[in-house]
Chain A
Amino acid sequence: MKNRAILVSLAIAGALLAGAALWAARVFPAAPAAVLGAFGLAGGLLLLCALAELLSTRDLDPARRERDREDRDERGTMIRDKARARAGDVLLWLLLFGAGYLYFFDVPKRVNLTLLGLASVKLLLDWVFAAWYRRKF
């Protein structure tokens, strides 16, 4: 379900941001072009995405609506969460296995350390999110 008010607000905000960036580029020619360009790009993207969502005919297509519902209902959400968790575990084991496997080959130590570092970050994030959800629920 779309919230049209929010989408219209986002489209207006995007247009204003892009317009402000263009105006600033003309009025302040000495201003950093990269910064103004970033704001202009962000505003333009925001406007385009909001318009695309507003004009989308997704809700009119029954097959599309059914697919969206299948993805977003409680069973679809559970499936997605389980798949993501399992993929994370597989990636973790691949990182650890990769670090161990490459240890016996002539690769720079920083490669092993990078793989181990990524595995450690993953484990740390697991612990942090688990602690957060334990407090939340």
Chain B
Amino acid sequence: MKNRLEALRKARGIKQEELAEALEVSRQTIGSLENGRYNPSILLAFKLARYFGTTIEDIFIYEEDGI
């Protein structure tokens, strides 16, 4: 799933390690989230949205097939 996670993180000057530590996940998970290889659970998505002070829809881009 496409997302704006990397852009949001870099705009705030946060490293992947710092974000991972704050969300209690590994740096590899943050990396996989950013390049779209891994989709987060709803719980992690909420944690991300709360961390950045935004909504899940602002971070993750839901695109239906064929559209």
Contacts and interface: CB of A to CB of B under 8 A. Distances in A.
Interface of A: 66, 69-70, 73-76
Interface residues of B, number: 13
A80 to B, nearest CB: 13
A105 B58 CA distance: 64
Contacts, number: 28
28 contacts: A66-B26, A66-B27, A69-B20, A69-B24, A69-B25, A69-B26, A70-B26, A70-B27, A70-B28, A70-B29, A73-B24, A73-B25, A73-B26, A73-B29, A74-B25, A74-B29, A74-B40, A74-B41, A74-B43, A74-B44, A75-B25, A75-B26, A75-B28, A75-B29, A75-B32, A75-B38, A76-B26, A76-B29
Contacts of A66: 26-27
